[in-house]
């Protein structure tokens, strides 16, 4: 089996999560550039070669979700994602059945006096099935046509990407769900297929998907699930000097050369590094890469004058970095 490997260390993401360009109040669009570490590339390629999900661990703001989107764009693959929450069930990631809508339609049809044969046709359960992210990842074509005469609109695909070249599916924040969710995915992820509606078997196509799973470590994942994954640990540099350089590198990748003064990248990184150290000592969740970019973005879009940006940064930092009641009061 041949597949395209990840080779780049940098990729420009022209589209956001909802596939619309980021624009400020003036209508000026902004792009996002993701920087891969060499070990990130190795982890993605190892997952592709092994045919196993890639579990990405790390604190919020470390770039876990963006890594999946950047990998999809670099590989030219379609991208499908699902944010997990406490109400998510394992079957939601395969397919869902809208029983509430079917009941409502039944009541309407019953009130209109439609013939029984027509009612049965209109209320065919397959009409109320919605393919989940893993169905799209395993077999894009069958997800578009889950049954004869039934067509489903596919997820949007970024420019230059195609499901014909494979799919990257992101299962974001799996630790939010009950342990039954990862356990319920063992067969699908281990065997490359699952039972769809009407006992139809959904199998992986010629190019297996790259499944990226993220966790913020809020809840331990079952050992049986971990054994089926390769694991990438994303951690911010622990010492201040390396962290400042790491933040500045990523900050510059997200903004055009003339958008921010060099002193703003440096000062924002220093402020965040100091706050991380202080809050960690207090046992509070520290700010990370996401807060750093939020701070830079607020300054860049609010103040184009480089001479005024540093002063604005000092004022805005308290809103971007100090998020705990104890910290704000201090």
| Per-residue tokens: 88 | 């998510």
- The confidence score (pLDDT) of residue 208 equals 94
- The confidence score (pLDDT) of residue 121 equals 63
- The confidence score (pLDDT) of residue 225 equals 95
> Alpha-carbon distance 211 to 228, whole Å?
11
- The confidence score (pLDDT) of residue 116 equals 66
pLDDT tens digits for the chain (330 residues)? 567 888 878 787 754 444 444 444 445 555 677 889 999 999 999 999 999 999 999 888 788 999 999 999 999 999 999 999 999 999 999 998 877 777 877 777 667 777 766 666 667 767 778 899 999 999 999 999 887 778 889 999 988 899 999 999 999 999 999 999 999 999 999 989 999 888 889 999 889 999 999 999 888 999 999 999 999 999 889 899 999 999 999 899 888 888 999 999 999 999 999 999 888 888 888 899 989 999 999 999 999 999 999 999 999 999 988 887 766 544
- Is the CB of residue 34 less than 8 Å from the CB of residue 63? yes
- Is the CB of residue 75 less than 8 Å from the CB of residue 2? no
Residue 240's CB is within 10 A of a number of other CB atoms, namely 14
- The confidence score (pLDDT) of residue 101 equals 74
Cα–Cα distances in angstroms (integers) from residue 329 to residues 58, 207, 277, 323, in the given order: 28, 54, 18, 10
Q: Which residue has the tokens 């339609």?
A: 105
- Is the CB of residue 270 less than 8 Å from the CB of residue 295? no
- The confidence score (pLDDT) of residue 205 equals 87
DSSP 88-104: --GGGGTEEE-HHHHHH
Which three-class secondary structure string do you get for 185-251? Answer: CHHHHHHCEEECHHHCEEECCCCCCEEEEEECCCCCCCHHHHCCCEEEEECCCCCHHHHHHHHHHHH
- The confidence score (pLDDT) of residue 19 equals 41
- Is the CB of residue 272 less than 8 Å from the CB of residue 318? no
């Amino acid at each position: 089996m041949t597949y395209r490997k990840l080779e780049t260390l940098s990729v420009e993401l022209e589209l956001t999560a909802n596939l619309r360009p980021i624009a400020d109040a003036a209508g000026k669009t902004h792009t996002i550039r993701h920087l891969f570490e060499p070990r990130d590339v190795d982890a993605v390629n190892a997952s592709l070669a092994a045919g196993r999900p890639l579990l990405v661990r790390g604190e919020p703001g470390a770039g876990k979700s963006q890594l999946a989107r950047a990998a999809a764009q670099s590989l030219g693959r379609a991208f499908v994602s699902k944010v997990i929450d406490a109400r998510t069930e394992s079957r939601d990631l395969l397919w869902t059945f809208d029983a509430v809508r079917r009941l409502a339609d039944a009541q309407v049809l019953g009130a209109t006096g439609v013939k029984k044969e027509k009612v049965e046709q209109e209320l065919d359960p397959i009409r109320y099935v919605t393919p989940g992210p893993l169905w799209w990842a395993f077999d894009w074509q069958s997800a578009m046509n889950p049954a004869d005469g039934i067509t489903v609109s596919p997820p949007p695909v970024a420019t230059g990407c195609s499901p014909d070249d494979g799919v990257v599916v992101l299962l974001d924040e799996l630790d939010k769900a009950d342990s039954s969710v990862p356990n319920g995915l063992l067969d699908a992820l281990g065997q490359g297929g699952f039972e769809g509606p009407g006992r139809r078997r959904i199998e992986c196509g010629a190019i297996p998907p790259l499944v990226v799973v993220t966790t913020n470590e809020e809840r331990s994942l079952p050992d049986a699930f971990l054994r089926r994954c390769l694991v990438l640990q994303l951690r911010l540099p622990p010492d201040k000097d390396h962290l400042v350089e790491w933040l500045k590198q990523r900050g510059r990748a997200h903004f055009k050369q003339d958008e921010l003064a060099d002193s703003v990248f440096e000062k924002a990184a220093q402020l965040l590094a100091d706050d991380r150290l202080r809050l960690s000592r207090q046992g509070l969740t520290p700010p990370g890469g996401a807060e750093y970019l939020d701070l830079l973005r607020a300054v860049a879009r609010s103040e184009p004058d480089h001479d005024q940006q540093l002063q604005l940064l000092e004022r805005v930092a308290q809103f971007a970095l100090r998020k705990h009641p104890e910290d704000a009061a201090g």
